[in-house]
Amino acid sequence: MAKKFYITTPIYYPSGKPHIGHCYTNVLADVLARWHRMSGDDVFLQTGTDEHGQKIERNAKEAGLTPKEYVDKMLGPFILLARAYHMSYTKFIRTTDKAHEAYCKKVMQKVYQKGDIYKGKYEGWYCVDCETYYTEKDLKDKKCPLHGREVKWLTEESYFFKMSKYQKQVAEYIRNNQYIFPKTRQEFLLARMKEGVTDLSISRSNTTWGIPLPFDKKQVSYVWFDALLNYTSSVASPSKKKYWPADVHMVAHDILWHHSVIWLSMLFAAGIRPPKKLLVHGFIQGEGGLKMSKSLGNVIDPIHILQAYPADSIRYFLVREIPFGQDGAFSMTALRDRHNNELVNDLGNLHARTLSMIEKYYNGKIPRSSKNELVRKFNFKQVDTYIKKYELNTALAEIWKFVNECNRYINDNQPWELAKTNKKRLDIVMYNLAESLRILSIVLEPFMPVTSDSIRKSLSLKKKETFKHLKFGVLGANKINKGGYLFTRKEEEEEMPAKKTAEPKAKLEAKNDQPKPVGVAKTGPYIPFVEWQKMEFKVGKVLKVGPHPDADRLYILVLDMGPGERERQVVAGLREHYKPEELLGKEVVVFTNLQPATIRGIESEGMVLAAESKGKVTLLKPDKQIDLGAKVR
Ligand code: MSP
């Protein structure tokens, strides 16, 4: 029988638009859920919305709606967020669901009857934005330590949950089971617990927006008491009971206390088994590590950004860029760089080159070979170990090592040469490349499900494969389905369509700034600046020089493009102007994103820049020492 794996995200307050941080949690949880599904586990992934509480009530009032009308209206973008990012959730729970409300009442009654809930009077500082009480000591400049907002002094009759009674048991559970990951968060939490755990006010009499207490209809439940129970209420039915206890709760550190001290105490009081692991990820900040805020104009809207980048690119970026547990910045430049370098260049080119060679040399039919010389270099165990240690970014980096290995394999084996000289060897090389793409489609599925699907379809594989199919030699003599490119290069200009301003146009219209009419200038037609920006020139170094076998005027150059960059092969018309030894070791300027072309049977991936006058040719090179890979601007 398949092993069950139950994983949850927090349920979000639908009190505003979804944030890139919500998206981050969803993606991390989805990657783990998909990884376990691919491993053969029976996965239950839950997300949802937390719809009670004073914040919702306050916002609804401002919008002139009842709280229920308000949450019904605000729900859509959260479901859209999950769907648009291909989150494979099993259940989307709303705390206003009738079944959830009935379940909460049952648990509250049970804890009340046990004697763990008593009536008292509450006095304290309350932050409506985080729906949390603070002591005088917690406040920063008399304001909420998280939001910096005014806190309210509340005095009201309230029911209390005897949380202090469970302090020891909770601390022991956390310590003995290494409940919290990363360990630094666990240590922080345990130290905070040592300062004392007080009983928790769990009801409100000044509002009706909440679940009525079963033992006192004049009061409603405190939002967190009801919200945390979402994790158990959704799997309370006989058919779903097998999923509890949760294997993983995924949260950010803002709600660490709630998911450890409050949640574990509640479960111990209700006699329900505790969850196994609390994964605490970091916070996403704006560019330069600043907190995202509307006033700084650095808020990333996860839905809006989809107009510029496919969801898979953003999923990849979020997982790869920020080591799990650490806070990290979301920068559009970093997103573009990863998209262009790792997705377009590394993975996209590997895919495009492999398919076009199968098309060209085999009429699109994948050749067969039983010699495994590339796939065996992929270390799945290592990737799996990283995932089990929640080092998702390192797992992805390990997969990328293999992507780069595949690109190196193409360059080393030069299939275009083999096509002329060694057909048998070409079969081996191309089969290994096709199989590697298949393997990549499997291991990348949890991170980039759409890309995985596209790779699979391009190999004409009908059925979705899982980790069971990671072995070498599965592909038959399929006819490939070339299709389009996996990713398209992004330019700065296209990044965020809605953010374009009219300013540049206005400038051009100013009288003295008029561009010269196209075509009359001595230098030829003008190229718009945006076109120039699309071109990428980098400094490279000549590593190998060889004559083109089929053209007297051409050389084949192999270029070193700097650390971390794969070598490039370029065909250049320099034979009449340079001896090979004059070129070896020379630094040159390379046009790197020129569409690859086959020049007399040899693939050329770029162009080396040279100046020409009256039949004389000289290469352009940097004037001073500069790193290989430096960009020409
Ligand atoms: N409703 C409660 C959670 C109840 S769970 C029983 C809540 N909601 S929230 O809408 O404020 O969501 C907080 C969570 O959203 C964080 O723990 C994190 O998962 C995610 N994020 C929201 N903004 C974030 C960042 N800037 N960075 C990373 N994640 C953050 O608290």
Which of 45-49, 101-105, 116-120, 564-568 has the least mean pLDDT?
564-568
Rounded to an integer, what distance in angstroms lies between the CA atom of residue 452 and that of residue 454? 5
Tell me the pLDDT tens digit for each residue of 97-110.
999 999 999 999 99
252 lines ligand 1 (CB under 6 A): yes
Q: What is the pLDDT of residue 373?
A: 97
pLDDT at 524 over 90: no
11 lines ligand 1 (CB under 6 A): yes
Tell me the pLDDT tens digit for each residue of 78-88.
999 999 999 99
Higher pLDDT, 133 or 401: 401
Rounded to an integer, what distance in angstroms lies between the CA atom of residue 159 and that of residue 205? 10
| CB proximity list for 21: less than 8 A, separation 6 or greater | 252, 283, 284, 292
Cβ–Cβ under 8 Å, residues 62 and 53:
no
Q: What's the token pair of residue 233?
A: 């209420």
Residue found by looking up tokens 């809930």 in the block: 117
Q: What is the pLDDT of residue 340?
A: 97
| CB proximity list for 203: less than 8 A, separation 6 or greater | 158, 159, 213, 216, 219, 220, 221, 222
Ligand 1, residue 250: give the atom nearest the CA: 19
Q: What's the token pair of residue 272?
A: 């329900």
| CB proximity list for 623: less than 8 A, separation 6 or greater | none
| CB proximity list for 47: less than 8 A, separation 6 or greater | 8, 9, 11, 12, 26, 29, 82, 87, 89, 91, 92, 93
598: helix, strand or coil = strand
- Please give the positions annotated as active site: 19, 22, 127, 130, 144, 147, 291, 294
Three-state SS annotation for 29-68: HHHHHHHHHHCCCEEEEEEEECCCCHHHHHHHHHHCCCHH
94 lines ligand 1 (CB under 6 A): no
Cβ–Cβ under 8 Å, residues 233 and 11:
no
Q: What is the pLDDT of residue 146?
A: 82
Tell me the pLDDT tens digit for each residue of 500-518.
333 333 222 333 333 333 3
Ligand 1, residue 230: give the atom nearest the CA: 6
Rounded to an integer, what distance in angstroms lies between the CA atom of residue 430 and that of residue 475? 12
Q: How far is CA 137 from CA 141, 144, 155, 167, 592, in A?
A: 10, 11, 18, 20, 58
Model confidence, pTM: 0.78
| CB proximity list for 186: less than 8 A, separation 6 or greater | 174, 175, 178, 179, 180
Ligand 1, residue 282: give the atom nearest the CA: 28
Question: What radius of gyration do the chain's Cα atoms show?
Answer: 30
Q: What's the token pair of residue 422?
A: 């060694």
Tell me the pLDDT tens digit for each residue of 345-366.
999 999 999 999 999 999 999 9
25 lines ligand 1 (CB under 6 A): yes
pLDDT at 417 over 70: yes
134 lines ligand 1 (CB under 6 A): no
